[in-house]
C-alpha cells in the first residue's frame, strides 16, 4: 500500500479557521488506511499569505493542497491518491 502523508497546517489562520478539528481524522480513517497514512501537524504552510491557493484551513496530502479543508475533503483526497489518480 502506498505511503500517504497528511500535513495539517497549524498556522494561526488555519488554526482560527478550524484546522484542529481535522486532527480527528486519525480516529475516522478506515482500518485499511491505519498503517499507510501518516498524519502530521506542521507549522504554517504559507498558503494563507499567498491568498491565491484558496482559503484556510489548508491541508497537504502527499504534496497536494486541500484548501478550505474539512474531514470530508481530506478523506476524499486520501481515497483519490489511493486509487492512483
Partner 1 sequence: MLSDNNASKIIKKLLVETARLCFEGRLEEGIDRLVIDTIPKKSNANRCCVHKDRAVIKYRLMAILGHSAEEEEDELKRLSEYAGQTLQREEISEPVLTVIDEACSACPAGRHFVTNVCRGCVARPCMVNCPKDAIQIHNGRAEIDEDKCVNCGICLKVCPYNAIVEIPVPCENACPVGAISKDESGKEQIDYSKCIFCGRCMTACPFGAIMERSQIIDVARKLAEGRKVAALTAPSAAGQFPCEFSQLKGAILKAGFSEVLEVAEGADITAKKEAGEFEEKISEGQKFMTSSCCPVYKEAAKKHIPELCEFISDTPTPMEFAGRKAKEKYPGCTAVFIGPCIAKRQEALEGRSIDHVLTCEELGAILVAKDIFVRETEPAETPGQASIEARKFGASGGVTEAVKANLSGNIQIKPELIDGLDNKNIKKLADICTGKTNFNFVEVMNCKGGCVGGPGNLSTPARAAKRIEKTFEP
Closer residue to partner 1, CB minimum distance, 42 or 62: 42
5 binds partner 1 (CB under 8 A): no
Compute the least distance from the CB of residue 17 to partner 1, in Å. Answer: 6
21 binds partner 1 (CB under 8 A): yes
For residue 2, give the 3-state DSSP assignment.
Answer: coil
Closer residue to partner 1, CB minimum distance, 13 or 36: 13
44 binds partner 1 (CB under 8 A): yes
- Please answer whether residues 69 and 76 qualify as being in contact, where contact means their C-beta atoms are separated by less than 8 angstroms: no
The overall longest dimension of the chain from CA atoms, in Å, is 36
The DSSP code sequence of 14-74 is HHHTTGGGGGGGGGTS-GGGTTTEEEEEES--SHHHHT-S--SS-EEETTEEETT--HHHH
Compute the least distance from the CB of residue 16 to partner 1, in Å. Answer: 4
Closer residue to partner 1, CB minimum distance, 19 or 37: 19
The residue from 6, 7, 11, 61 that contacts partner 1 (CB under 8 A) is 11
Amino acid at each position: 500500500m502506498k505511503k500517504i502523508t497528511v500535513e495539517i497546517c497549524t498556522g494561526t489562520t488555519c488554526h482560527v479557521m478550524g484546522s484542529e478539528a481535522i486532527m480527528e481524522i486519525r480516529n475516522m480513517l478506515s482500518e485499511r488506511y491505519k498503517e499507510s497514512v501518516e498524519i502530521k501537524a506542521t507549522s504554517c504552510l504559507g498558503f494563507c499569505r499567498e491568498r491565491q491557493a484558496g482559503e484556510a484551513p489548508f491541508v497537504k496530502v502527499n504534496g497536494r493542497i486541500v484548501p478550505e479543508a474539512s474531514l470530508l475533503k481530506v478523506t476524499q483526497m486520501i481515497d483519490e491518491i489511493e486509487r492512483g489518480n
